[in-house]
Chains A and B, each alone.
Chain A
Amino acid sequence: MEHLFSDYTLRMVALGSAVLGLVSGGLGTYAVLRGQSLLGDAISHAALPGVALAFLLTGSKTPLALMIGAALAGWLATLWILSVTETTRIKYDSMLALTLSVFFGAGLVLLTWIRQRAGASQAGLDTFLFGQASSLVWRDVVAMAIPGGGALALMLLFWKELKLLAFDPEYGRTMGLPMRRVDLLLTALLVVAIVIGLQTVGVVLMSAMIVAPAAAGRQWTDALWKMVLLSAGFGAAGGVTGAVLSSLETGLPTGPLIVLCMGAIVAASLFFAPNRGLLGQRLRRRRNAGRFQRETVLLDLYALGMQHADPLRPHPQGAVQAMRAKDIPVDRLLMRLNKEGLVRRAAGGWGLTDAGLRHAETLQKERR
């Protein structure tokens, strides 16, 4: 019985985290591509007073009521950021920081107000700070999946408009597409993605769920639809892994573990992604550098041969080494060239093969 219960909890936590990761990963793609990675942080903090107000007004802790309150507050905060930056000389980043901290402070005032008015019944609102995935029940998962699924469906429906918004909104406007409305739509979708995650990972860490999956997804592909798919997948994978890890030991909070898993996915992507990955880049550079050195030695051998009017004539290794700095490992380079069939070992040292001669002649033309 005990075991079954904990399994049910784990299932719900994993399912909820997967839904959240899917939605925030998919929609976070646009936030990251548009350079609005930190907007999610502002929205999630700004949602706190909305949660408290929704509870004050409705007296209910049903996830839907709290989510609507959070969404309205997050949405208002975004509009306030936009309107201040548009009407004054205040910069976007100042407004982000100001809004997130002031709204959060107002939320805290409301929470403490509720605490002393309503006694202990506000318990459960505190979980919005760090989230409490372990308290997720089926009802919560449904309450996350419906708006989240709706947001993803709208994203797919307006795929072409959102893509244009992210790539070249001004051009879209010249064609008569109302890009401002598309922008508002995307902000609304982002708000939904954030709000459904608050109960699971909390306001502080929610922004990572927006940024990290997309930052990881970007490394693996150069196609938008693949990036969205990968981000959603990474988000879900990070969510489930974090949830499972947190179940291994009591007292480990789910939100931070999910964030650490996402961080690990980002780090792995940065290093190991095939094209943009740093490791691949380093290997490619080294390979190119190695090839360049080998080709240089090959050309040296060719030049030595031409001096003796016989390009195929072998030369002692010392003569080849003498043409280059001491730290160039001519011996190893010659061995590699030998393996590639461009150079052969002969009585007088090293000589070009026929293939090596042809290769050297083309190189000679290219490098000139």
Chain B
Amino acid sequence: MKGAAAIEVRDLTVAYRDKPVLWDIDLTVPPGVLMAVVGPNGAGKTTFVKALLGLLPVSAGRIRFFDAPYEASRQQIAYVPQRGSVDWDFPTSVLDVVMMGRYGRLGWIRRPGKREREQAREALARVGMEDFAGRQIRQLSGGQQQRVFLARALVQDARVYLMDEPFQGVDAVTERAIIDLLRALRSEGRTLLVVHHDLQTVEEYFDRVMLLNVRRIASGPVEQAFTTENLRLTYGGRIAFLRSANAADAADPAAP
């Protein structure tokens, strides 16, 4: 791998109350890719993302972003949590939520000002929500909530985006808009790691994939890693969908 990887994970193990949730994960994400993390429920996808973000204590292993530890690269990383992780009845406006993405750079006590408002409006325009800036968040639909979260991450202007199920429960139009946005971010050279649950769209949306079930089953370019064999290993006997015929099943199952 030439140059520093955007995300480099070595031997990552995370335990919850003495019970391991992630075992010995290795992963290298080169810069400028759009990568999916897939796996069954309880496979540790969300845990993985949270561990990368330093939200959970790590039992062992090393995580680096552009060859620097997380603490040093925080400004380079933006996070899009699951939509259901917050109370959407909270009394605040769309613009306010998006501006929260600037709080990290503002530092203590300083209030967001005109500049932050401008940035927030631009980000809202990018997700097609410019008309909703003054709207209260409890009036939003699921897809709109998701777009607000994306806009909040956009104003962070990060090099790495970590997203937890951004397509969960959104309508088809929003899904289309989101994937267009993700692709645009990739073409700007940003790196995106996306927890994804819809196996049908992996090949269409992403260029890399990690299959995760407590351990990393496989990772790499989609055509190499997203094989029937690897899916069976990941999902066990529970896999219940027909793979398209053009899937590259012959490839190396454990490409780094």
Q: Which residues of A contact B (CB under 8 A)?
A: 33, 157-161, 163-164, 166-168, 170-177, 218, 221-224, 226-227
Q: Cβ of B74: which chain A residues have Cβ within 8 Å of it?
A: 174-176
A214 nearest CB across to chain B (Å): 10
Among B105-113, B176-184, B210-218, B228-236, the stretch that binds chain A is: B105-113
Complex partner residue of A171 from B81, B93, B109, CB under 8 angstroms = B81
> With A168-B86, A171-B81, A172-B103 known to touch, is A160 a contact of B111 (CB < 8 Å)?
yes
| B85 A167 Cβ-Cβ under 8 A | no
| A175 B91 Cβ-Cβ under 8 A | no
Complex partner residue of B91 from A159, A164, A223, CB under 8 angstroms = A223
If A159-B111, A167-B100, A168-B85 are given as contacts, then 20 extra A-B residue pairs at C-beta distance below 8 Å, sorted by A number, are A158-B108, A158-B109, A160-B110, A161-B103, A163-B96, A163-B100, A164-B103, A167-B97, A172-B100, A173-B53, A173-B55, A174-B55, A174-B77, A174-B79, A175-B103, A175-B156, A176-B74, A223-B92, A224-B91, A226-B91
A-B contact pairs, 21 of them (CB 8 A): A33-B87, A157-B109, A158-B108, A160-B103, A160-B110, A164-B100, A166-B90, A167-B86, A167-B92, A168-B100, A170-B55, A173-B54, A174-B55, A174-B79, A176-B71, A218-B91, A222-B138, A224-B91, A224-B96, A226-B91, A227-B91
A275 nearest CB across to chain B (Å): 9
- In Å, the complex CA distance between A199 and B100 comes to 39
Cβ of B104 within 8 Å of any chain A Cβ, yes or no, is yes
Q: Cβ of A172: which chain B residues have Cβ within 8 Å of it?
A: 100, 103
- In Å, the complex CA distance between A221 and B138 comes to 12
Complex partner residue of B136 from A157, A176, A222, CB under 8 angstroms = A222
- In Å, the complex CA distance between A163 and B137 comes to 14
| A170 B85 Cβ-Cβ under 8 A | yes
Q: Cβ of B85: which chain A residues have Cβ within 8 Å of it?
A: 168, 170
Interface centre among A159, A172, A173, A218, by most B CB within 10 Å? A173
| A33 B106 Cβ-Cβ under 8 A | no
Residue of B nearest to A218 (CB): B91
Q: Cβ of B106: which chain A residues have Cβ within 8 Å of it?
A: 160
Residue of A nearest to B136 (CB): A222
Q: Indicate the size class of the contact surface on chain B.
A: 20 to 34
| A224 B100 Cβ-Cβ under 8 A | no
Residue of B nearest to A29 (CB): B91
- In Å, the complex CA distance between A32 and B155 comes to 29
- In Å, the complex CA distance between A160 and B97 comes to 11
Q: Cβ of B103: which chain A residues have Cβ within 8 Å of it?
A: 160-161, 164, 172, 175, 177
- In Å, the complex CA distance between A177 and B81 comes to 16
A228 nearest CB across to chain B (Å): 9
| B109 A167 Cβ-Cβ under 8 A | no
Q: Cβ of A163: which chain B residues have Cβ within 8 Å of it?
A: 92, 96, 100
| A171 B92 Cβ-Cβ under 8 A | no
Interface centre among B77, B79, B85, B112, by most A CB within 10 Å? B79
> With A160-B112, A172-B103 known to touch, is A33 a contact of B90 (CB < 8 Å)?
yes
Interface centre among B79, B91, B93, B156, by most A CB within 10 Å? B91
B76 nearest CB across to chain A (Å): 11
B133 nearest CB across to chain A (Å): 13
| B104 A176 Cβ-Cβ under 8 A | yes
B60-94 interface bits toward A, Cβ cutoff 8 Å, 1 = contact, 0 = none: 00000000000100110101010001110011110
| A174 B136 Cβ-Cβ under 8 A | no
| B111 A167 Cβ-Cβ under 8 A | no
Residue of A nearest to B107 (CB): A177
Interface centre among A167, A174, A221, A227, by most B CB within 10 Å? A174
A348 nearest CB across to chain B (Å): 47
B155 nearest CB across to chain A (Å): 11
- In Å, the complex CA distance between A171 and B150 comes to 13
B53 nearest CB across to chain A (Å): 5
- In Å, the complex CA distance between A227 and B136 comes to 13
B91 nearest CB across to chain A (Å): 5
Interface centre among B90, B109, B111, B156, by most A CB within 10 Å? B90
- In Å, the complex CA distance between A176 and B96 comes to 19
Please name the 4 residue pairs, one residue from A and one from B, whose CB atoms are nearest each other, closest first. A175-B104, A222-B136, A174-B79, A176-B74
Q: Cβ of B109: which chain A residues have Cβ within 8 Å of it?
A: 157-158, 160
- In Å, the complex CA distance between A206 and B41 comes to 45
| B111 A221 Cβ-Cβ under 8 A | no
| B93 A177 Cβ-Cβ under 8 A | no
- In Å, the complex CA distance between A130 and B255 comes to 71
- In Å, the complex CA distance between A177 and B92 comes to 20
Residue of A nearest to B101 (CB): A175
- In Å, the complex CA distance between A354 and B96 comes to 47
